[in-house]
Amino acid sequence: MDFRTIIAKRREGMVHSKEELTFLAEGAAKGDIPDYQLSAWLMAAYLKPLTDQETVDLTIAMADSGDRLDLTGVPKPWIDKHSTGGVGDKTTLVLGPLLAACGLSVIKMSGRGLGITGGTVDKLKSIPGFSTDLTPKKMVAQAKKIGIAVAGQTAHLAPADKALYGLRDVTETVTSLPLIVSSILSKKIAGGADTVILDVKCGSGSFNPTREQAEKLADALVAIGKLAGLKAYAAITDMDQPLGSSIGNALEVKEAIDVLTKPESELSPNTKRFRELCRYYAALALRVSGIAPTAGEALTRIEDTLQSGRALDKANQWIKAQGATVDFNETSWLPVAPVQIELHAKMAGCIGKVDARTIGEIALDLGAGRHEKDDEIDLSVGIVLNVKVGDLISENHLLATVHAATPEAGATAITRLEHAILIQTTPIPPRPILIRPA
């Protein structure tokens, strides 16, 4: 097959055959098709979007471009959860052990941070000894034994996506809907998933600034997932303000541990909002996997699993199984930034905006994320928010604390943070965490 013909067909908006898309995925994975030809095809696919059937065929071809995880023998029901990425999103750290403690097998491949959106793999690096470098064999063995395994992406699963994603990033073609959908779902299929819960983020701190964009992505993920043989469920949740109180790797691990160890009444209002999101997705997972027939029963089971300490025990089992030399019963081992600076309100009023994008950028610049793909991250730095949209505050109220490596970096972050948190005189309602249920 001559790849020039495939580029020309895309350019003219003609429909690709399954064989052509398989040729493309295999060629991208093996490095047989040069980057300049793949880039030309990507731009053509951006301008003439793939049809649903083409997207399914590309998804499956990319999933088959490397190994597929064989989960035979792992107790069912299986669940995989994926977030489209946001600021302060540490959901996997709570949801994973919580669902495993409820009897599901959670097998998940997680990514590193991408731009302002953090990655679970980076957060987990804050746990001394913890390794996300699991072989497929170890992943399956661990899931069989304790019901949960979370690994970083390996080069063996969906290598075509790795090649195409790198090129999309530098050719301004990341935001093509069919390309996003096939990228996300191919990795889920290669990871052996049968049921996937998708958290589609909406707002300034996500890939989907508008509700319309988030709805299109959620609908496409579910529709293409079904056509590709997955049971896929997508809800849309708020990412206009950061999730929970903490942004930054070790700070987020601390917040997740708080949810696993403390009663809800002892959590900060921002962390309660994060807990609410975890409860929603946990209940959805229990319902769709048949473990709890109704939402009410699912929620009772979730609260019982959290409050009894079973979710915490499972979290400790999980991190030990992946090499941790500490546990979640206390947190003195977490790295702490040398500088902490508080930001207080200059006036009384109502919190009108806590801009997720700007706060994600500030955390990135403090060192919590990477500007270049090989940058070292600082696990200890970040921001702890003490307010959320709709809060009524008095003058001098603590708005946030910046955790920084140096006083200069902290001072710069505080100046920028002042502009990211808007105080207004007219009250506005809080932002619901759930925008559209699955």
Residues forming the active site: 82, 161, 168, 183, 187
Interatomic CA distance for residues 343 and 402, integer angstroms = 8
- Per-residue buried b or exposed e for 93-107, using 16+ beta carbons within 10 Å of the residue's own CB: bbbbbbbbbbebbbb
CB of 166 to ligand URA, least distance (A): 11
Using the minimum distance from each CB to ligand URA, give the nearer residue, 179 or 267: 179
Token pair belonging to 257: 């541990």
3-state secondary structure of 404: strand
3-state secondary structure of 191: coil
Mutual angle of helices 159-170 and 52-63, in 10-degree steps? 120
Using the minimum distance from each CB to ligand URA, give the nearer residue, 74 or 180: 180
Using the minimum distance from each CB to ligand URA, give the nearer residue, 184 or 339: 184
Using the minimum distance from each CB to ligand URA, give the nearer residue, 174 or 341: 174
Question: Cβ distance 298 to 282 under 8 Å?
Answer: yes
385 φ/ψ angles, rounded to the nearest 5 degrees: -90, 140
CB of 179 to ligand URA, least distance (A): 6
Q: Which of 293, 335, 270, 278 has its CA nearest to residue 98?
A: 278
Question: Cβ distance 177 to 49 under 8 Å?
Answer: yes
Q: Which of 151, 149, 153, 152 has its CA nearest to residue 97?
A: 149
Strand (E) or helix (H) holding 305: helix 295-307
CB of 185 to ligand URA, least distance (A): 9
Strand (E) or helix (H) holding 235: strand 231-238
CB of 75 to ligand URA, least distance (A): 27
Using the minimum distance from each CB to ligand URA, give the nearer residue, 45 or 389: 45
Identity at 58, one-letter amino acid code: L
CB of 85 to ligand URA, least distance (A): 6
CB of 184 to ligand URA, least distance (A): 5
Using the minimum distance from each CB to ligand URA, give the nearer residue, 44 or 184: 184
Identity at 175, one-letter amino acid code: T
89 φ/ψ angles, rounded to the nearest 5 degrees: -90, 100
Q: Which residue has the tokens 């917040």?
A: 255
CB of 387 to ligand URA, least distance (A): 29
Using the minimum distance from each CB to ligand URA, give the nearer residue, 169 or 342: 169
Question: Cβ distance 76 to 193 under 8 Å?
Answer: no
Q: How many CA atoms lie within 13 A of 77 on its CB side?
A: 19
Question: Cβ distance 77 to 237 under 8 Å?
Answer: no
Binding footprint of ligand URA on the chain (CB under 6 A): 84, 174, 180, 183-184
